Structure 1
């Protein structure tokens, strides 16, 4: 890679992230920085203050993102005079490196946005009976209280419960098939604890909007939520 093209890649990865999913986008951007070789294994990342300015986020967000990637083996933090945050050498290898087709990822994630945003809007537009309302809230609470080994399974059940209360039976089968493919990709990288906290807050917004009958808010909240996991998928898989 020439120096000119490397500068172009640096501009692409060191740019402001979206406010709604700042943590997920920062994690994804750091992973891209590593995977593209902008910072090679064994080399140090720019200082936290500089990264915060480049990404237009707080230093706390940068620090949390670095902690997530340090916990999963992508980064190493060193203290002292020659300390800093360094890219791990060697890097951890995903279970299925190089097997994700970007076009397929775009297709599956695009379909997910259509299916789940439409389901959230439809669910919020209906008058749900007490049993449906109780079930939806119970699904949210189950995810919020889930242990890490159970989290993705219960997260899936919540998303499918939203699709089910939309009242369109054929939509459930489409969403289940789509979610199965998404889960296959999610399972190739570890859960990020601080992402779980953010996702749970977003789940509450989605379910609350549906139960309040606020269709626009439900659709906007689920699209914001999906954008966060999409950023992580693209960061880790591409």
Structure 2
């Protein structure tokens, strides 16, 4: 699969966590919010193409005229770019790097870090326990294992995106679209916060051990163990963010 078609096929499954029909009256605003979440969560990686306009409009329940207005805003903000030709389309641009740390910090200046981290913890700990308690289907278990495996060999520059996909896969496995949507929203904010702090190798190694313990507990049906593994994992991330940002 080429990078140009990376959002197709299996990637389409990732987008179901965020893209859903918008409500009448706020079609433009809600569609913009959802596509922003797709970009901020890394569900379509930098350099990859968003689904075709026809497909995006269908998923969001909006006209292609409205969708084009949304994409125009994203282009003006430097988040996506349009390419012409046989392999053209709308492609996600690389996100701000360390040189733009000041801009990143300004973007999250209004965020209540403690509130975001508390809400994230409640959602994630609850989701982990629920998945273990109710059990996963064979397909869900396979997707969770695959998401975990993809974090193992992730290059540092792509680690946080793959980490996001692992957590989002777990949230989806609960079977609650409302929980998944709420998690996607709070995770987008968490990712903005994480972009403001350095990527620490020691922390990544620690996170990987926690991920492995979490997935093992979920697959074993150990609800208590899954909740405790997730609680510990979220606490570690929270400690780093509070240390650097507050």
- Shorter-chain TM-score: which interval? 0.5 to 0.7
Which residue does the alignment assign to 2:223?
215
Match in the other structure for 2:168: 160
Secondary structure of the residue aligned to 1:146 is coil
Q: Deviation per CA, 1:26-59: give whole Å up to 9, x if none.
A: xxxxxxxxxxxxxxxxxxxxxxxxxxxxxxxxxx
User: Structure 1 residues 236, 203: CA separation in 2 closer, same or farther (over 3 Å shift)?
Assistant: same
Larger relative contact order (Cα-Cα within 8 Å, sequence gap ≥ 6): 1
User: Conserved in 2, the CA contact under 8 Å of 1:100 and 1:237?
Assistant: no
Distance 2:100 2:239 in 1: 19
1:201 to 188, 205, 209: 209
Contact kept in structure 2, 1:119 and 1:162, CA below 8 Å: yes
Structure 1 residue 168: deviation in Å? 1.4
Aligned residue-pair number: 146
Q: Which residue does 2:63 correspond to in 1?
A: none
Corresponding residue for residue 132 of structure 2: 124
Query: 1:100 aligned to 69, 92, 109, which one?
Result: 109
Within-5 A mapping of 1:1-238? 94-95=101-102, 96=105, 100=109, 104-238=112-246
Does the 8 Å contact 2:133/2:223 carry over to 1?
A: yes
In the aligned structure 1, how far is the partner of 2:229 from the partner of 2:129? Answer: 10
Match of 2:236, SS state, is helix
Work out whether residues 124 and 230 of structure 2, in 8 Å CA contact, stay in contact via their aligned partners in 1.
yes
DSSP 3-state at the match of 2:197:
coil
The structure whose Rg is larger is: 1
Structure 2 residues without counterparts, runs of 5 or longer: 1-98
Check the 8 A contact 2:108/2:193 in 1, yes or no.
Answer: no
Contact 1:115/1:171 (CA < 8 Å) preserved in 2? yes
Q: Normalization by structure 1: what TM-score?
A: 0.58
**Match of 2:37?**
none
List 4+ stretches of structure 1 deviating above 3 A.
97-102
Q: 1:139·1:157 contact (CA, 8 Å) conserved in 2? A: yes
Aligned CA RMSD, in angstroms, stands at 1.9
